[in-house]
């Protein structure tokens, strides 16, 4: 398995052609040609945190906040499953809904629709994670964002990388399949720390990892900064595939947002094997503004990207 120096070499020096081919070869050997398509439901844009990079931060008073009602969440989940999504991903900002309310939704989706439920609702109390696990949720996405503890503290006022990692360990111990991941091109992030991000995903033995370029967002403290490059994000996707071959990796929405025509197909060609298609009702989705020009990837987009990358899917009604 590659160590830090080799990962740095993959990120910086390896010719793009051979890096991409190696990552694609490992992806096909480990995962086959099939691309999993998840149904993403962004059920609330309320958030108590103030991550410096994110448009949903609590202090951003310029966006309209929403929390979808239970019936709307369940109806959208049904649509996602009918269209061929293999899991429903329920995503929201942190700490602005009732844990029991979400447990009821999880119970309803797992019992009625028969698909796994993935949660992505941030750092929560162990008791809440337990409650949702008992209700039937069995996957959880919580990106570590950056493995550089000092940078993490700067970007997340009042929070620590240590607590983030503790949450990931608790989730694993409760029997969740766990997803982490990170951004590429954050202000103050070094290439060495991106190599460490990859090593951390391997050390945590994560089941899933989402890697996306940082995209500056208006109305946040990092609005004027430079964003991350799609090229470096793709190199990181490939390097993670080589370092941790069994991981499920999405071609992220951030990649699609930088290059709407080809971003996701490129992600698949560089080592990704998962896509997330949004089933968030459109008038809510327009307020889920994590960053500017966030793409809304639908099932048609997903199918097109998969076909363009020469891979296979089981999507219906498209």
Tell me: does residue 240 bind ligand 5AD (CB under 6 A): no
| Count of CA atoms in the C-beta half-sphere (13 A) of 255 | 30
Shortest approach of ligand 5AD to residue 289 CB, angstroms?
Answer: 10
Check: CB of residue 275 under 8 Å from CB of residue 35. Answer: yes
- Say how far apart CA 238 and CA 271 lie, in whole Å: 5
- DSSP state, residue 156: S
| Binder among 74, 119, 151, 183 for ligand 5AD (CB under 6 A) | 183
**Nearer residue to ligand SF4 within complex by CB, 84 or 213:** 213
Q: Which does 254 bind (CB under 5 to 8 A by kind): ligand 5AD, ligand SF4, none?
A: ligand 5AD
Residue 234's beta-bridge partner residues? none
Tokens 């949450």, located at residue: 167
Tell me: does residue 290 bind ligand 5AD (CB under 6 A): yes
Tell me: does residue 143 bind ligand 5AD (CB under 6 A): yes
Tell me: does residue 214 bind ligand 5AD (CB under 6 A): yes
Q: Which residues are CB-contacts of 218 (< 8 A; sequence separation ≥ 6)?
A: 55, 292
Check: CB of residue 19 under 8 Å from CB of residue 269. Answer: no
Compute CA 138 distance to the chain's CA centroid, rounded to the nearest angstrom.
Answer: 16
Shortest approach of ligand 5AD to residue 9 CB, angstroms?
Answer: 25
Contact residues for ligand SF4 (CB under 6 A)? 47, 49, 51, 54, 56-57, 93-94, 122
Question: What backbone torsions phi and psi does residue 247 show, to the nearest 5 degrees?
Answer: -65, 145
**Nearer residue to ligand 5AD within complex by CB, 183 or 302:** 183
Q: Which does 281 bind (CB under 5 to 8 A by kind): ligand SF4, ligand 5AD, none?
A: none
**Nearer residue to ligand 5AD within complex by CB, 51 or 268:** 51
Q: Interior CA angle at 234 toward 160 and 35, to 5°?
A: 100
- Name the 3-class secondary structure at 44: strand
Q: Which does 57 bind (CB under 5 to 8 A by kind): ligand SF4, ligand 5AD, none?
A: ligand SF4
> Does an H or E element contain 261, and which?
none
Shortest approach of ligand SF4 to residue 149 CB, angstroms?
Answer: 17
Tell me: does residue 11 bind ligand 5AD (CB under 6 A): no
Task: Map the footprint of ligand 5AD across residues 254-273, applying CB under 6 A.
Answer: 254
Shortest approach of ligand 5AD to residue 291 CB, angstroms?
Answer: 4
**Nearer residue to ligand 5AD within complex by CB, 143 or 269:** 143
Q: Percent helix, strand, coil in the chain (nearest 5)?
A: 45, 15, 40
- Say how far apart CA 175 and CA 75 lie, in whole Å: 27
Tell me: does residue 94 bind ligand 5AD (CB under 6 A): no
Tell me: does residue 54 bind ligand 5AD (CB under 6 A): yes
Q: Which of 50, 185, 63, 70 lies closest to 122 in space, CA to CA?
A: 50
Q: Which does 143 bind (CB under 5 to 8 A by kind): ligand 5AD, ligand SF4, none?
A: ligand 5AD
Give contact residues for ligand 5AD (rule: CB under 6 A). Answer: 53-54, 143, 145, 183, 212, 214-215, 217, 254, 290-291
């Amino acid at each position: 398995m590659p160590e830090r120096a080799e990962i740095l070499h993959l990120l910086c020096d390896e010719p793009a052609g051979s890096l991409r081919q190696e990552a694609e070869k490992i992806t096909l050997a480990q995962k086959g040609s099939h691309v999993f398509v998840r149904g993403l439901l962004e059920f609330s844009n309320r958030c108590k945190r103030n991550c410096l990079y994110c448009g949903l931060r609590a202090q951003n008073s310029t966006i309209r906040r929403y929390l979808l009602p239970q019936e709307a969440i369940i109806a959208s989940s049904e649509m996602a499953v009918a269209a061929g999504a293999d899991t429903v991903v329920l995503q929201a900002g942190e700490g602005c809904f009732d844990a029991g309310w979400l447990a009821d939704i999880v119970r309803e989706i797992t019992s009625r629709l028969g698909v796994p439920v993935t949660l992505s609702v941030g750092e929560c109390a162990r008791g809440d994670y337990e409650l949702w696990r008992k209700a039937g949720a069995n996957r959880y996405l919580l990106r570590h964002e950056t493995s550089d503890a000092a940078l993490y503290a700067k970007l997340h006022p009042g929070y620590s990388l240590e607590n983030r990692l503790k949450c990931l360990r608790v989730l694993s111990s409760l029997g969740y399949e766990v997803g982490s991941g990170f951004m590429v091109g954050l202000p103050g992030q070094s290439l060495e720390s991106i190599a460490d991000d990859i090593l951390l995903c391997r050390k945590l033995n994560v089941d899933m990892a989402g890697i996306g370029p940082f995209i500056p967002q208006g109305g946040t403290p990092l609005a004027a900064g430079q964003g991350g490059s799609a090229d470096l994000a793709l190199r990181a996707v490939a390097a993670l595939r080589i370092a941790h071959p069994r991981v499920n990796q999405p071609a992220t929405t951030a990649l699609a947002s930088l290059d709407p025509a080809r971003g996701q197909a490129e992600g698949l060609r560089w080592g990704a094997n998962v896509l997330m298609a949004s089933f968030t009702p459109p008038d809510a989705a327009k307020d889920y503004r994590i960053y500017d020009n966030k793409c809304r990837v639908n099932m048609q987009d997903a199918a097109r990207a998969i076909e363009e990358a020469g891979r296979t899917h089981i999507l219906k009604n498209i």
